[in-house]
Homo-oligomer: A and B are copies of this chain.
Amino acid sequence: MDSATWSLAFDLLGVFFFAVSGCLLAVQKGFDILGSLLLGSLTGIGGGVIRDLILGRFPNSFAEPIYLAPPALAALVVYFLVPAVQKARRTLLTFDAAGLALFCITGTVTALSYKVNPVSAALLGTVTAIGGGLLRDTVANVRPGLFDRHDLYAVPAMLGAGAVAALWTLGLYSTAAGFVVAVVVFAVRILALKFRWSVPLAASSRHQAERHAAD
């Protein structure tokens, strides 16, 4: 496969992973299968649509009907394989992490191939990666995972997007390099979840004592 085909494959796989996370949230919220398909679609293609709107191009998820397949598949897979009593947020977060890892790569590469400067391209890659999950959580009326304490969400996506932009600028980017970065981003995100890696709260730690005292 050439690099454009690989890029499409990565993108469709990312759409599928994010769509599964959306369908799993639909199960948790008691939505019907159509709500599952819609929430999965929004989650899967949302980040890419935001990226494409910012880049000023017709979103490829609307231009190419093949993008309808992963959310449809995700809704069916979740429907037939997931028990309705399944509440495991862990499964949702694992699929979300896989989507995040792929989209920070494909989002950045798409922006770079549109001649966007590397800093803005990394920013757009990050927006692509976190956009779908943010839409999913906002629309389904749950606290966005993006803002959860005790696990790094945006950091691995930012690092992955930055790494791709740097490799590209240095002329070192290849599909294989992109794949390696995606694997690292996924691993960092999963480890952050498992070991509850965190960054400081929004207000300085010198005030944490007061906060905890007040709780």
Residues of chain A having any CB pair with chain B under 8 Å: 23, 26-27, 29-36, 38-39, 49, 53-59, 62-63, 65, 68, 75, 78-80, 82-86, 116-117, 119-120, 123-124, 130, 134, 138-144, 146-149, 152-155, 198-204, 207-208, 210-211, 214
Is A58 in contact with B62, judged by CB distance below 8 angstroms?
A: no
**CB within 8 Å for A36 and B84 given contacts A54-B62, A65-B119:** no
A152 to B34, CA, bound (A): 9
Is A56 in contact with B54, judged by CB distance below 8 angstroms?
A: no
A55 to B144, CA, bound (A): 29
Q: A36-B202, A54-B62 are in contact. List 20 more A-B contacts (CB 8 A).
A: A27-B201, A30-B201, A31-B149, A32-B200, A33-B199, A33-B202, A35-B147, A35-B202, A38-B154, A39-B147, A54-B59, A62-B120, A68-B119, A75-B202, A79-B200, A79-B204, A82-B204, A83-B203, A84-B208, A138-B138
Does more than half of chain A's interface fall in helix, strand or loop, or is it mixed?
helix
Is B201 in contact with A32, judged by CB distance below 8 angstroms?
A: yes
Is A147 in contact with B140, judged by CB distance below 8 angstroms?
A: yes
Residue in B78, B146, B202 whose CB lies within 8 Å of A202? B78
Distance in Å from the Cβ of A54 to the closest Cβ of chain B?
6
Residues of B within 8 A of A31 (CB): 147, 149, 201-202
